[in-house]
Amino acid sequence: MLPKDGQVACHDVMAIDFSLIGMAIQRRVRGGMKILCLSLMLVMAFLGCNKAMPELGPDKFTSTAPGKAYVVPKEKKQEALPAKKLPGLSDERQPSGQDFTLAQLVDVALRINPSTKVAWERARSAAAQWGVARGDYYPTISGDVSGYGAGGSARGVFGQVGVSLSYLLLDFGGREASVESARQALAAANWNHNQAIQDVLRNVPQAYYEYIGYKAQVRASEASLKEALTSLDSTEQRRRAGVSTIADVLQARSNADQVRLTLVANRGGVKVSRGDLATAVGWPANI
């Protein structure tokens, strides 16, 4: 759950009917530096009044990796892919005769698929925008230091330090609305990232089963073609023996050609589905 603004920090404690308090201090260098250091210490104490300020670490409100959903179990799960190689591929496109399981392909896809990476980076960007929006809850400090030297009777080096501290106390809800809008945008980005992960979990198995389905059809077509060619050879022998007609031979030949055409189509389906599977994982289609 994302922390609700207004509950997390000691920001919105006062509601006074004026919008800007300014403080200007001018001193000589030594006294001015004391004031500047004191102001910085006060600001650090103000920032430390809440230990869970999202603006100090917005990335913890998104997932830790492109392939992980925003809400994940604390226990570390064992990876399905053996740590030999693979993800980005190359090294002459690895796999040396190894058939990968569906679990391994899904594991690789969750790590390298561009869609999950894009969604994850958008969620991280939304978290950063939320942190920026919450910056309006803090005071603004500005300062300047100048110095000059003097000669004659009043020799020495002189300087001055100026420090300005301003804090917006009341803007009729504009700041709170802006922060809440950024918080809801972060929630939407996290859900979009989760949806991208679910799309990968759907697309990879779908492409995988389509691929192994075409491979099974190729094996079946090869067996059918072998039977059709055996039948054609038998029919031609019967024709030569005078116990079969030319029509039977033509019929057997037509059947063999039809099975051969189906085999070619299924082999093409294997190549297409293999490319679809590679694309679903995040690899080049021509792997």
pLDDT digits (tens, 9 = 90+) for 55-72: 555 666 666 666 666 554
Instruction: Report mean pLDDT in 10-residue bins for the chain, 287 residues.
Output: 46 35 39 55 52 58 63 46 47 53 88 89 90 87 79 66 84 89 91 92 93 94 95 93 91 95 95 93 85
pLDDT given for residue 228 in this prediction:
95
* Burial bucket for residue 73 (CB in 10 Å: 0-12, 13-18, 19+): exposed
pLDDT given for residue 159 in this prediction:
74
Amino acid at site 146 = S
pLDDT given for residue 286 in this prediction:
83
pLDDT given for residue 26 in this prediction:
39
The domain spans of the chain are 21-58+86-281
pLDDT given for residue 36 in this prediction:
53
pLDDT given for residue 87 in this prediction:
46
What is the second-level CATH architecture of the domain 21-58+86-281?
A: Up-down Bundle (1.20)
Task: Write a three-state SS string for the chain.
Answer: CCCCCCCCCCCCCCCCCCCCEEEEEEECHHHHHHHHHHHHHHHHHHHCCCCCCHHHCHHHHCCCCCCCCCCCCCCCCCCCCCCCCCCCCCCCCCCCCCCCCHHHHHHHHHHHCHHHHHHHHHHHHHHHHHHHHHHHHCCEEEEEEEEEEECCCCCEEEEEEEEEEEECCCCCCHHHHHHHHHHHHHHHHHHHHHHHHHHHHHHHHHHHHHHHHHHHHHHHHHHHHHHHHHHHHHHHHHHHCCCCCHHHHHHHHHHHHHHHHHHHHHHHHHHHHHHHHHHHHCCCCCC
pLDDT tens for 103-156 read: 889 988 988 899 998 999 999 999 999 988 988 888 888 888 887 766 666 566
Confirm whether pTM is higher than 0.85. no
pLDDT given for residue 23 in this prediction:
36
